[in-house]
Structure 1
Amino acid sequence: MNQKLVESLAQIILSLSDEERQWLDREIQKASVSKQVEDLKSRLKQFEETYQMPSEHFHQRFQAGELGDDIDFFEWDAYYEMLTAAQFKAS
């Protein structure tokens, strides 16, 4: 960790107005959600390639009980729902 850089950033942040700090916080949250979305898309792509099925189609079929109880399907569905929630958060 670069302690001098962190100290400088802390001083800059402390010098910001409340409005500027709120803006900075929103920007940091957007970047975090964006990173989360990209990570989830990457995980979903692996399942889509393995099972040759788009995640949306999989989710509909899994929720309808058409695909069984394979542990991969529960994991895939959880990632799909996490992506849906993250995208809603980002909008």
Structure 2
Amino acid sequence: MTQLIVNSPSASHVKPLIQAALDHEIRLLQMGIEKTKRRLRHFEELFKIETLNFYQAFQAGDMGDEVECMKWAGEYETLLQFEEDFAQIRGIQVC
């Protein structure tokens, strides 16, 4: 867990603002994760393959360079980044 220590004469006012900003960012990331997962399901239905299997083949150069494959890979990479950011921010404790 990451601790964010607020050292200020107005810490009692600043801490809730920081926590509210973190909570807002968490909500935005959750929405982004859900939206990205919906997009990935669309690609999975379209190509009849799970995203992880697709991405492994894509990384190996076995999926070609179609625009749709590029979009799919980009969506998956976006999901990975959102999930990483979510985990990091969710682990912050404001002290």
TM-score, scaled to structure 2:
0.78
**Deviation readout 1:7-38 (Å, 9 max, x if unpaired):** xxxxxxxxx81000000000000000000000
Cα RMSD after superposing both structures: 1.0
Q: Distance in 1 between matches of 2:32 and 2:83?
A: 9
After TM superposition, what 4+ stretches of structure 1 lie above 3 angstroms from structure 2?
none
More strand by share: 2
Say yes or no: does 1:38 pair with 2:34: yes
Larger radius of gyration: 1
What is the identity percentage for the equivalent residue pairs of Structure 1 and Structure 2?
Answer: 25
* Correspondence 1:7-86 to 2 at 5 A: 17-86=13-82
* 1:67 alignment partner, SS class: coil
Displacement of 1:67: 1.1
Q: Distance in 2 between matches of 1:36 and 1:86?
A: 7
TM-score, scaled to structure 1:
0.81
Unaligned runs of 5+ in 2: 1-11, 88-95
Higher relative contact order (CA 8 A, sep 6+): 2
